[in-house]
Amino acid sequence: MEIVERKREGKTPASILLSIVPLKNREGKVFRLAGIGKDITELKKMEQKLLDVQKLEAIHELVVTLNHEMNQPLAVSSSLIQMMIKKMEEGIKPTSKGLEMIYKQFLKISKLLKEINEIKQIVTTDYIKGIKMIDLKKSVDKKIKEVREE
């Protein structure tokens, strides 16, 4: 068993890994416990640092994914809006077709955000120059597969 954050006199809390073995007499009754403890405080600190690094990597992968997946619909929408503004300045009324195209781009962004919300397990893929991003299709499919198996 592990005893976590046991106070040491005048020192910071420690994590102790405690192994206990019952000692039995000839009749099979426990008459003593023998044990050994090992200070694993540094190991626990390294585990926490590793978890923190993994969380930062996951956040970075999410940011790269959002940047990649959202840039295209936002660029299209921005261009369409700029074109419509220019036409309006020239006295030309905007068409519903342009507004529909912008609406479709925002639907793509909405779908992307829903997919991100559906991720149960992150599956990454190489992006560029050693940078990884989340493979949304595989990550969402992984969740669907797990739900079907349950």
Residues 42, 62: Cα–Cα separation, whole Å: 30
Residues 90-116 pLDDT 10s: 999 888 998 999 999 999 999 888 888
Tabulate helix, strand, coil % of the chain (nearest 5): 55, 20, 20
Residues 19-71 pLDDT 10s: 899 999 999 999 999 988 888 889 988 999 999 998 888 888 888 888 888 89
Q: Where are the beta strands (DSSP E) in the chain?
A: 2-6, 14-24, 30-39, 124-126, 132-134
* Beta carbons of 101 and 76 less than 8 angstroms apart: yes
